[in-house]
Structure 1
């Protein structure tokens, strides 16, 4: 199976899996939880957030879709199944970031909030490819660092509200069908991708990936993206992309 990674466009919102469209853990002011308010339309809120960030800042998502080669006449390329996705934004655009005990996010960093892989799609490989795509986008835009809040395995031991430390209760409060397990990135996955812990915490450390380590780092990102492109080309059907010779 071939896959391709592309910047998320607002027109592709409906391509996202249901949970990705409805998850507003990071995007909606968590103060509405404190007030006991009900969120009537999570999908509208998520799409509105994406629209705002894209308008004010630019691309804030990467999408992995199953690559079916050249679309047939009348076939909509948007029908390609979504295999995974990632969202990232300036921390000022992410209300939930202010609730983490290891905040704030560094002023020179963009925050990676979400990375989701559909079941049965080889999560480790696609996760690394998505992070590479995010890094490649940010390097081209001159961003110095990518940060993320990680979730450690110790979170699994917080089985009831009484066992939750006071400093992480604002993190654990969720909206709709969101959950910390689904919506906060695994710290081990981030470290496997090269992130390092810059603010330690038993449950929710903050991690950082430096993007300005000279031309060597940039060359490495470009090489990784080139390998992804070559891999996609190799997986195309024989004869795809070539002209017929008489």
Structure 2
């Protein structure tokens, strides 16, 4: 479709319906494409609260992946499109748990790498580059729907396509990621289930 025609049709689109259709299509043709982060709300709550989400998919099925100035995404990579956690989960560091869930899923599926377009909050962007990604009033903004460059760096992503506003990041996925996670989980279970006792001095008169 002509890019100009795509822009002209944005005002007539039902965004929520489009997202539902996209998710259904990716699930049907590729498989699981997201992770949810649940947090307990205390004893008074009957159900845990959804406190975060992540979405990822092959770049070929992400409509705007080719519009970023640092595109295209590498052919061997899956594109991380969304990484969101609420304020409480963020303060507790649970975004790391969410990222871990994404990586574990992709490693099990044999994916070689994951990439993401980051957003530098203090960066400057030309009106043309901005309009390509965010096309109409009311559309999501970098602050509301893009992953911050800082968060990607914290998760050990590396910049592979520098840009003053929309850099592209990459994280290589190998079996070491999964192996390290399994070892860490096993150690935590061992520490939680074990009790360490210190032997006291023997009673007087005993050897």
Q: TM-score, structure 1 length as denominator?
A: 0.67
Is the alpha carbon distance of 1:130 and 1:32 closer, same or farther for their aligned partners in structure 2, counting shifts above 3 Å?
farther
Distance, in Å, in 2 between the alignment partners of 1:124 and 1:165 is 36
Structure 1 unaligned runs (5+)? Answer: 1-28, 70-74, 159-163, 235-246
Instruction: Please name the residue that 2:18 is paired with.
Output: 45
Bigger Rg over Cα: 2
Measure, in 1, the Cα distance between the counterparts of 2:120 and 2:67.
Answer: 17
Q: Which moved more, 1:94-103 or 1:59-68?
A: 59-68
Task: Quote the Cα distance in structure 1 between the aligned partners of 2:92 and 2:60.
Answer: 29
In the TM superposition, residue 172 of structure 1 has moved relative to its aligned partner by 3.5
Provide closer, same or farther for how the CA distance between residues 171 and 41 of structure 1 changes in structure 2, counting only shifts above 3 A: closer
Q: How does 1:89-168 map to 2 (within 5 A)?
A: 89-123=57-91, 125-155=93-123, 164-168=126-130
Distance 1:114 1:32, change over 3 A: farther
Q: How many residues align?
A: 188
Shift of 1:105: 0.2
Q: Which fold has the larger relative contact order, with Cα–Cα distance below 8 Å and residues 6 or more apart in sequence? A: 1
Match of 2:176 in 1: 216
TM-score (norm 2): 0.78
The whole-number CA distance in structure 1 between the counterparts of 2:130 and 2:139 is 19
SS of alignment partner, residue 72 of structure 2: coil
Alpha-carbon distance in 1 for matches of 2:165, 2:91: 22
Displacement of 1:38 in angstroms is 1.9
Q: Which residue number corresponds to residue 35 of structure 1?
A: 8
Contact 1:61 1:86 in 2 (8 A): yes
- Inter-partner Cα distance in structure 1 for 2:161 and 2:130: 14
Q: Give unpaired runs (5+ residues) of structure 2.
A: 194-207
Q: Decide whether the 8 Å contact of 1:111 with 1:147 is kept in 2.
A: yes
**CA RMSD, aligned part only?**
3.0
Q: In the alignment, which residue of structure 2 is the partner of 1:202?
A: 164
Q: Which residue of 1 aligns with 2:35?
A: 62
Show CA shifts across 1:169-228 (max 9, x none).
Answer: 31243564521211111001101101000001111100000002xx4333123345x37x
